[in-house]
Amino acid sequence: MVKEFEPEDPMELVGVVLEGGDPDQALETIVQEYLLMGWTPARILSLFRSPRFAATHQIYRQRGETYVEGRVHQMAEEWRRGWLTGGGDNA
């Protein structure tokens, strides 16, 4: 169930769906943020598998389990090689 945005909603955190976004870019950005916080690939994947997290679960449904798992593990490997610190092949 998606809650409509209400401008008068006093300080309640509300997620809304924005049309026209790039699901692949969203996936990469979300995975990067959680890798920065030290999350494991398994823990990150739990966000995509759970319907409680609408945005990540929508990406999971659109792109499929194999694709999402592959990207999360690929990005975690790139992280281990040092893509944020300037090391490895992706510097």
Tokens 């281990």 found at: 80
Asked if residue 53 belongs to a domain, the reply is yes
Q: For residue range 48-69, list pLDDT tens digits in order.
A: 999 999 889 999 999 999 999 9
Give per-residue burial for 2-25: e unless 16+ CB within 10 Å, then b.
eeeeeeeeeeeeeeeeeeeeeeee
Domain count, the chain: 1
Query: Stretch 33-43: mean pLDDT, rounded?
Result: 96
0.85 cut: is pTM over it? no
Asked if residue 86 belongs to a domain, the reply is no
The token pair that represents 74 in the structure block: 């690929």
**Domain of 27, in residue numbers:** 23-81
Of the pLDDT bands very low, low, confident and very high (cuts 50, 70, 90), residue 80 is confident
Asked if residue 57 belongs to a domain, the reply is yes
Asked if residue 63 belongs to a domain, the reply is yes
Asked if residue 87 belongs to a domain, the reply is no
Asked if residue 89 belongs to a domain, the reply is no
Asked if residue 49 belongs to a domain, the reply is yes
Q: Does residue 91 have a pLDDT over 50?
A: no
Q: Does residue 16 have a pLDDT over 70?
A: no
Helix, strand, coil distribution of the chain in percent, nearest 5: 55, 0, 45
Asked if residue 14 belongs to a domain, the reply is no
Residue 90: what pLDDT? 46
